[in-house]
Structure 1
Amino acid sequence: MIKAERLIGSRLVDSCRYQHLQRPLNASAAGGSRPILAVVVVWSYDVLDDVAWHRLSHAYGSALDTPRHLRGLTATDAGVRTSALLHLWNSVTHQETHSTATAPVAELVARMLTDHRLGWPAATGEERSTRTELLSYLGHVAAWAARFQAKPNTVNYVRRDDLEADVYDVVWEPENDPDYIVVGRLGSGCVRRADVVIPLLVPWLDAPDPQEHGAALYALACWIGLAGDQVPIPSQALERLTAVATDSTAEPEIRIDCVLALAATGSDTSELLDDASVAIRTCAALSPATATDPRALHVITAALISPVECNQWLRQRPPTPYAEATLSARLVEAALRCTDDFERLLPAALGVAASARPWSIDETWGPLLAAAAPEPPATERPLSAAQRTYLSALAANDTLWRDQQQDRDELLHGLGLPLDRHEIQSLATAH
């Protein structure tokens, strides 16, 4: 039991660091009244009986055992509550993956947050409430979902009759296994439910328990980071994110979470492009709203000159909102929004080329190569100096050419470029 309790605690966002950031959305201006949570939904566990759990799955098979664990979250026995939480972490989202039960469970968990029994400790000897644990869990789920959405080639095997089968992108239909399909964009179920979950998180920003409102801010940032501009965001949520993002006294990692969420929505984060923190400046430049601001490309370029270093600015655990596997991948997207003039992109592109790896072709150096060569060089149009310089930098990177790479060859062929490294170098140096 001790080991289980420690496992639960290790997954939590450090909500204590959020405590001083509480700004009650519904308190009096004088700050004298205690925040009152706006309960907008009445939760009933009867809802669990309406779900066809046999048509959902988790990491260990059918999700038929999941409703029992969801009910166990409010059990009087702390051991049962611990077991229920471990089921969420270890089965519904096993090793940071999403199963078809993940999104339905996330919605149900968000709906049950109003149950007063969730204020009980998450485990024996644990100070954090079960609600704090669930809010943290919801944040993790959304952050992982955003990563899956950014990586559509990450796939899963799903039964055709699964309740969630229609929310994903179908990648392949195996002829030898007609009962299954291979699907991508594994965070799609959560995206579909973001407009339900986000409003259910907002009241907990004012929770009397400071750990709960800290975990709620993290969860909210992650779900907004996942939803982006696809769903309406409550004004209270945007106000809180903005207040924390612009608060120079707040914990840097908490500010980063809020800036990333704002960037995902396309909010105007230009005020932060001159922030004292290089990480805050860089995250602010990810917002499409800053694309026409000359400072944005300057900030992005400064970061991408050393992609390996900038990728370390975001923590790995708990996962940050609106993040791909690397910050540099988001930065390349943002750079390409700023300009279609490759000469202006070249300094950033050279930094990317120097540290590029074969697996990052779709995230960084591939999109930049496509931007550098909008027309195949087989035409009579000569290569520009910027194009030649970038091609030469890619050819000089040994790691890109050590093995046969189908993705690399397909990209080069599609752009009308030679597949051989030495031929590319010759093309880059030809005048």
Structure 2
Amino acid sequence: MLDHLDDAEWPGLFHALGSADDTPRHLTALLGDDLKAFTAAYSHLWSTTLRHEGKAWPATAPTALRVAELLDEPRPAPADPSLPDGLLAYLYAVGLAADLGDRAAEIRARVEDRASELRAWTDEYLAADPEGRSRMRQDGTGLGELVLDQAALACFDLAPTLLRRVLPHLASDRAMRRACAAAAAGSPARHPAASVQRPTISRQLTSMARSAECPYERATILIALGHLGGDTRSWLADPHKGVRTCAALAPGLAGDGAADRLLRELARSPGEFAESFGDMAPPLQLRFEPYLRRSREAG
């Protein structure tokens, strides 16, 4: 039960509201039966430990590690079977912050060169009031931005662990769980440490997409598959409009005539795309990342 909760130096980390010394309490509340505390804790995850633009605070990586541990923790009755889905969605958002690609090495070098300055800046930031913290983020030294780059690097380094925690949920007996797990696995599977696993994960996602009866699940899996460089071409002819469009968003299909036609249709009627999923919102990834940029370019 959150065995490593005390391993992080929470008071020395910060999130959107300042010191992260309140985050362990919220994480523990996610396992409790106090509905008010649980609601506040879930809100804390999304509104406080993640930056609105899909990037990381220094508290994000240690929070994500504990969230990954929570995936398999039982909760007191009445258990909410959708909680792991929400936690996987959170890990998807962290994965976006972690997806640094070639920037990781350059950030690591800069962070190592200025480690003592970054620690001093962080200590001063934690001691400041909200107005002072706002000034510090715009002080012109570049240290604030580098501290946030350091936070993203911590997420990058955590990505292989997140992937290991997420992968078992691809075999869940719940369609929504499988869809959220597919989304959450996408970015961590792009980490260099996952290069050996990536073909196996792509094959698993392909198999899942072929057997998925729910269009939402199929579309979400296809976005993840495309993100990993998998082949989504055969789904351009799927009978469901939303699935066809999500298949067309694969970066590997950029410039493909059939895919571009689907994206031009999307640009003309985005509402029709959303409505194709009925009462469900469009796939998880489309709520976080500008996948629709290709639709504007194609239009």
Show CA shifts across 1:254-284 (max 9, x none).
2110000000000122222322234323332
Q: Does 1:283 align with 2:246?
A: yes
Q: Does 1:313 align with 2:278?
A: no
Offset at residue 222 of structure 1 (A): 2.0
1:14 is aligned to none
Q: 1:193 aligns with which of 147, 158, 169?
A: 158
Secondary structure, counterpart of 2:144 in structure 1: strand
Q: Write the distance in 1 (CA, Å) between the matches of 2:207 and 2:293.
A: 27
Stretches of structure 2 that go unaligned for 5 or more consecutive residues are 104-116, 124-135
TM-score w.r.t. length of structure 1: 0.49
Q: Write the distance in 2 (CA, Å) between the matches of 1:330 and 1:55.
A: 41
Letter in 1 for 2:44: H
Q: Write the distance in 1 (CA, Å) between the matches of 2:34 and 2:138.
A: 48
Secondary structure, counterpart of 1:321 in structure 2: helix
Show CA shifts across 1:295-325 (max 9, x none).
x323213422652524763589576227765
Identity of aligned residues (%): 25
Whichever structure has more helix as a proportion of its residues is 2
Offset at residue 160 of structure 1 (A): 2.8
Offset at residue 242 of structure 1 (A): 2.1
Q: Does 1:220 align with 2:172?
A: no
2:109 is aligned to none
1:109 is aligned to 67
Offset at residue 105 of structure 1 (A): 0.9
2:108 is aligned to none
The alpha-carbon distance between structure 1 residues 86 and 279, as it changes in their structure 2 partners (threshold 3 A), is closer
1:204 is aligned to 169
2:209 is aligned to 245
The alpha-carbon distance between structure 1 residues 289 and 327, as it changes in their structure 2 partners (threshold 3 A), is closer
1:18 is aligned to none
Letter in 2 for 1:72: A
Secondary structure, counterpart of 1:313 in structure 2: helix
1:229 is aligned to 190
Q: Write the distance in 1 (CA, Å) between the matches of 2:294 and 2:83.
A: 29
Larger radius of gyration: 1
Aligned residues of 2:26 and 2:41 also touching (Cα < 8 A):
yes
Q: How does 1:74-153 map to 2 (within 5 A)?
A: 74-75=31-32, 77=34, 79-93=36-50, 98-115=56-73, 118-121=74-77, 128-129=80-81, 132-143=82-93, 146=96
The alpha-carbon distance between structure 1 residues 175 and 275, as it changes in their structure 2 partners (threshold 3 A), is closer
Q: Write the distance in 2 (CA, Å) between the matches of 1:88 and 1:146.
A: 15
Aligned residues of 2:49 and 2:57 also touching (Cα < 8 A):
yes
- Count of residue correspondences: 260
